[in-house]
Structure 1
Amino acid sequence: MNRIRRTAAGSVAAALTLTLAACGVAQPQGSAELADEPVTLRVTWWGGDTRHARTQEVFDLFEEQYPNVTIEPEFSDWSGYWEKLATATAGGNAADVIQMDQLYLSSYASRGSLTDLGSLSQLDTSGLEQPVLDMGSWNDTLYGMPISTTSTGLLVNTDLVEEIGVPLPDTSTWTWDEFEAWAQEVTEKSPEGTYGTNVIYNEFSLQLFARQHGDQLFSEDDIVIRPETLADYFQLALDWTKSGAAPSASTTAETISLPLDQTLFTTGKTAAIFTPSTMITAYAAASGAELELVPLPTPDEDTAKYDYYKPGMYWSVSSKSEHPAEAALLVDFLVNDPEAAKIIGTERGIPANAKSLESLGEDLTAEERKAADFAEQREPHLGDAPAIVPNGASDIETILLRYLQDVVFERQTPLDAANALIAEVQSSTNAAK
């Protein structure tokens, strides 16, 4: 959710990424064999202080095992990361190993900026489930090694729900209509300024909603969601806003960019929010409340396999790297080594490698265990991996939020907003082809 709130600030960087990366198609460099002489690898990622410290500790361990390799770390926060990466890539000076996100993977891969990881024998991908691994591919080629996975669920403040006295329905089969009725009742029985839920406004939830309706958001190169499906998604937000299940349009607009520790949910003013499951740790720490993860409602008690594990982020290797073999060896260490997994923990999400998750054992916190258990509970509902965000559509979340706000303020109808969003995104993907 923090990432979503910062997407608007990063939209200029996203556009810059597309422009600069298109300046030329890079060709792979360097040997696919490990070198005997000293090697220096530059590694870049985004994140906070905890991530920096844990990542550096893993680097120290790697350098002990491979003394001829020296790692030079480069890191920043999300908002500045993509502009720096775009500039470095355009100048042919990208880091050897790059932390990558699904929003931008196809953009960099399609321009020849990333190495085919499947061509590097130093990287073992066998520890990942195929649907998860597939989401690191573009044009049937692996360009991103998934680091972690997450599911989207409903995060419920059970302390608040018990205090208000409105128990949850059977969440194993509940429908969107049942959810709205519950959220509206929570609002009605709460003090003024407390609400049942929030409006949904991210690409992950839209993917799931589309899949629940037998639809999909993207193909490899285009936005393909039916306008009617997208209109139904917008209609949920409008209905919840008008019924009081969610805050008013003005309250949503005023609070949507607040830091996590100041959100309505964290401050006990919202009973349930839609969020990636791995965010439970951050919300629990900020709120001090007892939180639980429950599945998304469905249209009609359907248990079809609409769900999927989404990679939280990836490691990629620059096609300009002079040391792709060593870069792949480092990626393998970061994702597959059990000692590295213990150091990293779940800071980047639930490890994509099941053995890495097992190696954490008793080290998982109560909230991390809830996220891991929730992922396990979703397995019967997992379907094939969807297409990743195509080239030209990296700012889908910014666009989605803009049109959703038009709908809840009733400046556009849900169907008009759906048609306009599809046209705008398709125009961007067409321009990127």
Structure 2
Amino acid sequence: MKRTTLRAGAGIVAASLALGLAGCGLGTGAAGDASTELSDEPVTLRMYWWGGDARHQRTQEVIDLFEEEYPNITVEPEFADWSGYWEKLATATAGKNSPDVVQMDLLYLAEYAGRGSLVELGDYDIDTSGMEDSVRDMGAWDDGLYAVPISTSSMTVAVNTDLLDEIGVPLPDTDGWTYDEYEAWAQQVTQAAPAGVYGGSIMQNGHMLNLFARQHGDQLFDGTQVSIDPATLEAYFQEALDWTKSGAAAPASVFAETSSLALDQLPISTGKVVSSFIYATQVSAYSQASGANIELVELPTIPDGVETYDYFKPGMYWSISSQSEHPAEAAALIDFFLNDPEAVKILGTERGLPALSSTLDIIADDLTPEEVKAVEYSESELPRLGDAPAPLPSGSSDQDALLLRYMQEVLFERTTPADAAEGYIADLQSSIDAAN
């Protein structure tokens, strides 16, 4: 195996995380004094991840294979749902009882790495040679690699073509279509659809906001500063307000009722909207939930905007706790999940498209038609890829919760898009400043 190298280059959960890590004690912990070589003695590792039953089953199968190859290493699995995961991890970290290997997310990477809670991985045997530099480097913090991407995905517009056919409105040419063209089409669909069914959806997460900003030649963060131009953010909120008022998207009351539902209860899953902004790798889940054919089309853009605005966002990462007494063995476990051919086959695309592009050939013959759509969409985005952004700053993990709050204020017209933009930037910057 090759050693990893790195080019230089909100809520209740957030509060719980900040309080937990503030008291966990900074520094490298047990891992700082541990060997980088594998031990021949019995070793027990704890591995922690979030997800559903399908993920738990596949992960356990790979753990069983790993234990066969490394008979002196026992892996104890732990898992939770998304919200419970972060509360439990914060508590364990603060109590000096963190699992050895943890599934990490971009929202929390800087917060854990910045407080000395993760191992810098450069000295350990994790082969990332089949990973694009821009993807791998999104696991970096302060010029060190603290998280290895597991999977990647791109944002897309999902279209329920079965429902669209029933309504009788054709899908226009989406090659290079604009936000105005998307709104006009979605409005036409709403007008032709049964009452309570809408043509479009609004953009509502931080990743989509950053892509919108990048189309404008802007960006959400610059180091620890919220750098987005208030005018760009105002345009983002204004777009959403215009769509709900024109009927292209559901009104504010429906948005408020549905924005935080589980995936299988979201409007795109229940046949209440024809199109929605999703991650391409979620197409299988939405197809299954809706029982319909879901096609993936390009994101709308702005006229004369930046063409290379997109990037492959890691869906999640593997990291090693700095409290681990066995970081070398933990690294071997991560490497096994990333590179072992049988492990790759078992995991498939459940966590998203493999971050190691070299492993796609291993699973190519076993991909479902929906997974093929995700792969093909990602390949179609290559001409639009630009430089990946730096990791999110510590304290930015509540950006989505803040965005949702201000979005509702705008849609209910309790505040203007301009005031919402100023408020969002100020609140997010305050959160970042408090964490740094």
1:22 is displaced (CA, Å) by 2.1
Residue 17 in structure 1 maps to residue 17 in structure 2: yes
1:133-144 matched pairs, under 5 angstroms? 133-144=136-147
Q: Is the 8 A contact 2:214 2:306 kept in 1?
A: no
Q: Is the 8 A contact 1:338 1:355 kept in 2?
A: no
Residue 118 in structure 1 maps to residue 118 in structure 2: no
Distance 1:302 1:428, change over 3 A: closer
Q: Is the 8 A contact 1:38 1:68 kept in 2?
A: yes
For residue 58 of structure 1, what is the amino acid of its counterpart?
A: V
Match of 1:362 among 362, 365, 374: 365
- Percent of counterpart pairs with the same letter? 60
Q: Is the 8 A contact 1:107 1:392 kept in 2?
A: yes
Residue 241 in structure 1 maps to residue 244 in structure 2: yes
- What is the match of residue 4 of structure 1? none
In the alignment, the residues of structure 2 paired with residue 386 and residue 164 of structure 1 have an alpha-carbon distance, to the nearest angstrom, of 40
1:21-420 matched pairs, under 5 angstroms? 21-23=21-23, 24-27=25-28, 28-120=32-124, 122-300=125-303, 302=305, 304-420=307-423
* Local SS of the residue matching 2:283: helix
Q: Is the 8 A contact 1:390 1:429 kept in 2?
A: yes
For residue 352 of structure 1, what is the amino acid of its counterpart?
A: A
For residue 76 of structure 2, what is the amino acid of its counterpart?
A: E
In the alignment, the residues of structure 1 paired with residue 264 and residue 38 of structure 2 have an alpha-carbon distance, to the nearest angstrom, of 46
TM-score (norm 2): 0.95
* Local SS of the residue matching 2:45: strand
1:133 is displaced (CA, Å) by 0.7
1:387 is displaced (CA, Å) by 2.1
In the alignment, the residues of structure 1 paired with residue 262 and residue 49 of structure 2 have an alpha-carbon distance, to the nearest angstrom, of 21
1:29 is displaced (CA, Å) by 3.5
In the alignment, the residues of structure 2 paired with residue 338 and residue 327 of structure 1 have an alpha-carbon distance, to the nearest angstrom, of 19
Q: Is the 8 A contact 2:217 2:306 kept in 1?
A: no
Query: Which consecutive aligned stretches of 4+ in structure 1 deviate over 3 angstroms post-superposition?
Result: none
In the alignment, the residues of structure 1 paired with residue 301 and residue 188 of structure 2 have an alpha-carbon distance, to the nearest angstrom, of 19
* Local SS of the residue matching 1:114: coil
RMSD value over aligned CA atoms? 1.2
- What is the match of residue 3 of structure 1? none
* Local SS of the residue matching 1:104: helix
In the alignment, the residues of structure 2 paired with residue 11 and residue 68 of structure 1 have an alpha-carbon distance, to the nearest angstrom, of 42
Task: Mark the runs of 5 or more structure 1 residues left unpaired by the alignment.
Answer: 1-9
* Local SS of the residue matching 2:225: coil
In the alignment, the residues of structure 2 paired with residue 84 and residue 16 of structure 1 have an alpha-carbon distance, to the nearest angstrom, of 9
* Local SS of the residue matching 2:221: coil
Q: Is the 8 A contact 1:175 1:301 kept in 2?
A: no
Residue 427 in structure 1 maps to residue 430 in structure 2: yes
* Local SS of the residue matching 2:49: strand
In the alignment, the residues of structure 2 paired with residue 123 and residue 116 of structure 1 have an alpha-carbon distance, to the nearest angstrom, of 12
* Local SS of the residue matching 2:223: coil
In the alignment, the residues of structure 2 paired with residue 402 and residue 202 of structure 1 have an alpha-carbon distance, to the nearest angstrom, of 11
Q: Is the 8 A contact 1:29 1:320 kept in 2?
A: no
In the alignment, the residues of structure 1 paired with residue 240 and residue 391 of structure 2 have an alpha-carbon distance, to the nearest angstrom, of 25
In the alignment, the residues of structure 1 paired with residue 142 and residue 347 of structure 2 have an alpha-carbon distance, to the nearest angstrom, of 31
Q: Is the 8 A contact 2:186 2:249 kept in 1?
A: yes
* Local SS of the residue matching 1:72: strand
Q: Is the 8 A contact 2:216 2:305 kept in 1?
A: no
1:302 is displaced (CA, Å) by 4.5
Q: Is the 8 A contact 2:160 2:295 kept in 1?
A: yes
In the alignment, the residues of structure 1 paired with residue 337 and residue 304 of structure 2 have an alpha-carbon distance, to the nearest angstrom, of 40
For residue 12 of structure 1, what is the amino acid of its counterpart?
A: I
1:116 is displaced (CA, Å) by 0.4
* Local SS of the residue matching 1:173: coil
1:220 is displaced (CA, Å) by 2.6
Moved more, 367-376 or 159-168: 159-168
Residues matched between the structures, number: 423
Q: Is the 8 A contact 2:217 2:305 kept in 1?
A: no
TM-score (norm 1): 0.96
For residue 86 of structure 1, what is the amino acid of its counterpart?
A: A
In the alignment, the residues of structure 1 paired with residue 427 and residue 61 of structure 2 have an alpha-carbon distance, to the nearest angstrom, of 44
In the alignment, the residues of structure 2 paired with residue 416 and residue 328 of structure 1 have an alpha-carbon distance, to the nearest angstrom, of 47
* Local SS of the residue matching 1:45: strand
Moved more, 161-170 or 199-208: 161-170
Q: Is the 8 A contact 1:218 1:388 kept in 2?
A: no
